[in-house]
Structure 1
Amino acid sequence: MPASEALARRNAIPFLYTRGTHYEVGFDIGRTFSGIIHSFLAASKELNNVFLPLYNTEAGRQVYNETLRSVQTNFPQYVREIEGTADGAGVPFHKLFLLHLDDILPNVVKRGGSSTNAPIGCSTIVCNHPGEELLGHTEDALSPTLNHFYLVSAHVLPEPGLPQGRWKDTEERFTSLCYAGILPGFTMSYNHHGLVYSINVVSAATLVAGKTPRMFLTRALLSVEHFVQAQQVLRDKGCGAAEGFSVNMTFLLQEGDRLFHNAEVGPALPSAAAESQLNILTVSPGESFVHTNKYLRLAVPEIKGSMMESSDCRHKAISAHGEPENYGSIVNMLGDQTDPKFTVFQDKTDHVTTLAVGIFDCVKRTWSIYSDNPKKTEPIVVLPIQLKTDKK
């Protein structure tokens, strides 16, 4: 199908189970979803109209090379994963890596700004009430991304003899909703240590070359075993994040009361220490929390425009429902379309679309995924959250 021909929302989410080294898992993803990856690369206006032209300039190639060298040193296993995906799909590695650079290239080369300044992003709601321990999330993206995603459940095995990087190459088991050609971990995911999380993009005004792209830090979260380790990954001491983002998470195997955490992550600017800016908020029992696509606590300058306006509108629309108390209230909030311009569930514009909605139930240990507005449809799948403590 030509990339210019829009495909209506499909009630389908392809799912791959795979086991192997990082390269082998990446290769299986690329081989299995080759058609989806090729279609997305052809349809992506940001890749073809912004990233590739900048990549072909001296300044753009310098940003690309500096950042690639950094992740080859600190996260070589995830570079291998992208190489495997590129080889499996039969696409050039540099195109997939440019997607992982995201706004770093245009922001650094053009000294500020975003490739789109679009109201893209996601809305996340946490409800931490007795018997109702829930994390709900809308996965929003530019409209060409619609239908260009899939689920991956992977058992990653260390590959002897390769460089180990910052966090070593450890055995991993996880399930993640993935954008076509992008590393797992960037949307909503869980791992077998009990980490459940979702990601909100935040548009910091100043990004940095040679630092760690957020898609690598969110991928590294899939390996962590506990909250302290998650903070270490996000802080990325010795290098730091190149961009801004927010993580909403909890650990199902943590002892004591259920605690959710929101981590706001800011770029590691040259004037500061070589680590990410980090602010943590803990959501205790009886509390709730909402995060969209702007910083609520971390004092990081952001790009002004529709991303900020959209975040404010969505936050206001969710708050109008009152405190989330149960699964049904989260469904109503995430399906809200009352704002005339920027809705929580987005499908009224040609520019931005909600791809999927996910609700993690930490009591039942399930992950319900909707391919359309949850107020109007049933989940397309309800996945059990499988942990390492589960009996075989």
Structure 2
Amino acid sequence: MSRNPISRIRAKGDAFSIGFALGQASASGFRERVLGTEEYRALDARWRGSDYLKTLETAARAAYPRFVREIEGIAAGAGQDFERVFLWNCRGDLRLPEDVSPATKALAATGCTSLLIPLESDAPAVIAHNEDGAAEFLGACLWVEVEGDEGRVWSSFMYPGMLPGHTFGLNKAGLVQTVNNISAHDLQPGVPRQIICRAILDTGGLDEAIEILKRRDRASGFHHNLGEAKTRRLASVEAPASGCAVREAASPRAHANHLLFGEFDGLEQTITLSSSRRQAAADRMIAEGALAGGAEVVLFDKTTPIHCDNDRNEDSGQTVATSVFALFPDRVEWRVHAAPDECDALIGTMHIT
């Protein structure tokens, strides 16, 4: 039996109905694996009912009301009040209180390694990604496949109670997105980053997605790996709240959990030891030609490790899934590994329309 089962959930209908189905599917995970964590309790005590949280909600509703409606549905489906679930969806936009434990601070700063592998000869372009989070989420995450009354058909990996999009996913336009956490110290009132990620899954292509990341009213940010199947273009986009820098990939590249581009040299950020080590190891393995054996050779590395287990002192991250997206002109072929010894737990093909 898998130690990390990933349930496959399908949802249809209007925004609230979609959210409700996803909330129902993740209700026990949210109740049992989120509400009792130190991070959630600290955020709840500091920010619940605050004017700042209301400002984030106002900005989200003004920019993307349909996606806020999905969060309302998630809350209802999970049997929770909206503010509780919205607060959790704003975890990256809210500063943690200073008195939380070092382990919780490290967990908030950790997460994910991605690879961009451009088109070569007859081989497809590839985006591959390790999704790192709390070990408590093993076995509690979902793969959701959504066909809404509005917007595009899309699929995404989902944490309990979280609006999908900020992990890895794709849509019927052939747009692929994987997301890496960054911890830039430039938080500001604005549209929460979870909403921004969900909005990208509603776009028709790479350029449209990048325009969203150039918005100046974002509350915080991520690093985004973006791919467009019909052109096989791949882009690495660093998008903290205070800016957006884009690098289209002409050769294989990796990205972990800190800003690398020169545009942000002066921006204060938290860089964990794990992120530094994973970035250096992935860069070295790419230079040594490891990708000839496939993206998994790098993402399954256990020596650094790039594939993380919750057995180290420097942070408390755990790889909860690994995804590989192969981009062809008319389709995206994808697979999700639950663990190195549980490959192809989920597979599928998204044909472009």
TM-score (norm 2): 0.89
Match of 1:162 in 2: none
Q: Which residue of 1 aligns with 2:69?
A: 80
SS at match of 2:351: coil
Q: Distance in 1 between matches of 2:28 and 2:296?
A: 32
Corresponding residue number in structure 1 for 2:43:
51
Summarize deviations over 1:41-64 as a string: whole Å, max 9, x none: 33432112x1111025xxx71211
Matched ranges for 1:367-386 at <5 A = 367-373=334-340, 376-386=341-351
Which residue of the partner structure matches residue 277 of structure 2? 313
Aligned match of 2:236? 262
Q: Secondary structure at the match of 1:220?
A: helix
Structure 1 gap segments, 5+ residues each: 1-7, 159-170, 269-276
C-alpha separation in 2, matches of 1:243 and 1:79? 17
One of 201, 218, 221 as aligned partner of 2:197? 218
The percent of aligned pairs where both chains have the same amino acid is 22
**Considering only aligned residues, what root-mean-square deviation do their CA atoms show, in Å?**
2.3
In the TM superposition, residue 346 of structure 1 has moved relative to its aligned partner by 0.6
Amino acid aligned to 2:275: S
Q: How many residues align?
A: 339
Task: Please list, as runs of the form range in 1=range in 2, the aligned pairs for 1:1-392 lying within 5 A after superposition.
Answer: 10-48=3-41, 50-56=42-48, 61-106=50-95, 116-118=105-107, 120-128=110-118, 129-130=120-121, 131-158=123-150, 171-209=151-189, 211-237=190-216, 240-254=217-231, 258-268=232-242, 277-284=243-250, 287-297=251-261, 298-299=263-264, 301-304=267-270, 307-323=271-287, 326=291, 328-339=293-304, 343-349=305-311, 351-363=316-328, 365-373=332-340, 376-388=341-353
Return the offset for 1:212: 1.3
Find the aligned partners of 1:133 and 1:381 in 2 and give their Cα distance.
20
- The residue type paired with residue 157 of structure 2 is L
Deviation at 1:11, TM superposition (A): 3.8
Report the alpha carbon displacement of residue 140 of structure 1 after superposing the two structures with TM. 0.2
- TM-score (norm. length: structure 1): 0.81
Aligned-pair CA distance for 1:132: 4.4
Distance across 2 between alignment mates of 1:134 and 1:228? 18
User: What one-letter code is carried by the residue in structure 1 that aligns with 2:23?
Assistant: G
Structure 1 residue 10, shift from structure 2 partner:
2.2
Q: Deviations over 1:52-90 (max 9, x none)?
A: 11025xxx7121111111111111111111111111111
